[in-house]
Amino acid sequence: MSKLKGKVAIVGIGEVPTGRFPETAAIYHAIESAKQAIRDAGINKDEIDFCMPTASLFSPQFNTELVTCRVVEELGLKNCKKNCQVFSGGSSSSCGLQMAGSLITSGVAQTVLFVHSDRLGTGVTAQGGIDLFSTAGISAEWEVPFGQHYSSIAALSTTRYKYETGCTDEQLASVCVSNRKWAEINPNAFFRKPLTIEEVMASKMLSTPLRAKMSNMLFDGGSAFVLASAERARDLPNTPVYILGESGVVSHFVFSQEPDVSRFGWAKSAKAAFGEANLTPRDMDVAEIYDSYPVYQMIGFEELGFCERGEAGEIFMRGDTWPGGRIPCTTDGGMLSKGHIGAGGAVSLLVEAARQLMGKAGERQVKDARFAVETATGGTYMDAQVTVLGTEIP
């Protein structure tokens, strides 16, 4: 159990729309998101004493700018003591939050700005994106020579998950529909037109049984949050969003080394995180489950304990996870409908969890949301990070 429970809180959030913005500089997504987060926190910008940009994948040159203090200079953060990148691929949200929280509870930092930005929609070509994600995080010795890439990885999980649970392709498609329901009412989402199971099933087959509309697409975007001590948070305008529990399991680097590609380490990680929070899945008002492909959202949903293994398909199909449903899930539309922006897929989800708990989610607002869980995973689903957040400390 960590010492973070109830000691630190997200006090401000910012986000730019996800989409294709060829005219905009990549840095805009970072500094606009950060500006919003600082203003939302109701603090003076010069209170930020630690800037934590996570990595951008589209260009090593741009990422070097993030590493070499560009955000600090662009925003004029006069009292910033350190600018240091924290990056664990898609799980950077959880890892960043926990690193930032540790800096605050240890006294190294007072107010941390965490920011993500990337330009995968216009900074790389469509085939360039496929090629980038057929090498990034995939073993150059043991998998790349066999034509492995992210669609085939997701398909390998999906095939095994279907084999073990009897899940149908229509049930997989229903996850896409659920996420789209949320994206329809998210102004920052890219895909906002209603989607049906039939449309998903009619889309091009990529890697069996994974179809094009079961796959995320890469876009430009960014989001940010400000973290402060719980004490400081109580003096600020937003409802503080406390870290209540967190845990993680690192399971593999090479995807084919994972002994259970339809479960991973979620159950162990969730048990520890919920245990620390002294809460159960039943207590959650919102479940921000990392998607990227439908099977991973189903696996996360089940392994966290929102239902038994093999039941997620029926639950997503029934609409229990939709706006107004019993278990609102991935309420920003996720990478499947809001759009995949690299490491920021889960940063968006974390920001959305905080937004829901602050009561600022507009049309998507889950009524009286007090507790939320956010999950994240990086690389080829190499880790299972679970964070429980809330407006009260149980």
Partner 1 sequence: MDTPKKPVPIVNPWARPFWDAAKEKRLVIQRCKDCDRYIFYPRIACPNCFSDNMEWVEASGKGTIYSFTVVQNNAPSAFIGEMPYVVAIIKLEEGVQMLSNVVECDPDNLHCDMPVEVTFERLTDDFTLPKFRPVTISSKR
Which residues lie near partner 1 (CB under 8 A)? Answer: 127, 130-131, 134-135, 139-149, 151-152, 155-160, 163, 204-210, 212, 215, 254-257, 259, 261
CA atoms within 13 Å, Cβ hemisphere of 263 = 14
Q: Which CB, 100 or 336, lies closer to partner 1?
A: 336
Q: Which CB, 102 or 159, lies closer to partner 1?
A: 159
* Three-state SS sequence of 143-162: CHHHCCCHHHHHHHHHHHHH
Residue 86, φ and ψ in degrees, nearest 5 = -120, 125
Shortest distance (Å) from residue 219 CB to partner 1: 17
Cα gap 220→336, rounded to integer Å: 14
Q: Which CB, 8 or 218, lies closer to partner 1?
A: 218
List, as one string, the DSSP characters of 181-217: HHHTT-TT-S--S---HHHHHHSPEEETTEEGGGS--
Shortest distance (Å) from residue 285 CB to partner 1: 35
* Residue whose structure tokens are 């004490």: 231
Closest CA to 29 of 18, 41, 42: 18
Shortest distance (Å) from residue 145 CB to partner 1: 5
Shortest distance (Å) from residue 384 CB to partner 1: 18
Q: Which CB, 28 or 253, lies closer to partner 1?
A: 253
Shortest distance (Å) from residue 255 CB to partner 1: 7
Q: Which CB, 255 or 301, lies closer to partner 1?
A: 255
Q: Which CB, 84 or 144, lies closer to partner 1?
A: 144
Q: Are 239 and 359 in contact (CB under 8 A)?
A: yes
Cα gap 36→116, rounded to integer Å: 13
Q: Which amino acid is residue 172, in one-letter code?
A: L
Shortest distance (Å) from residue 213 CB to partner 1: 12
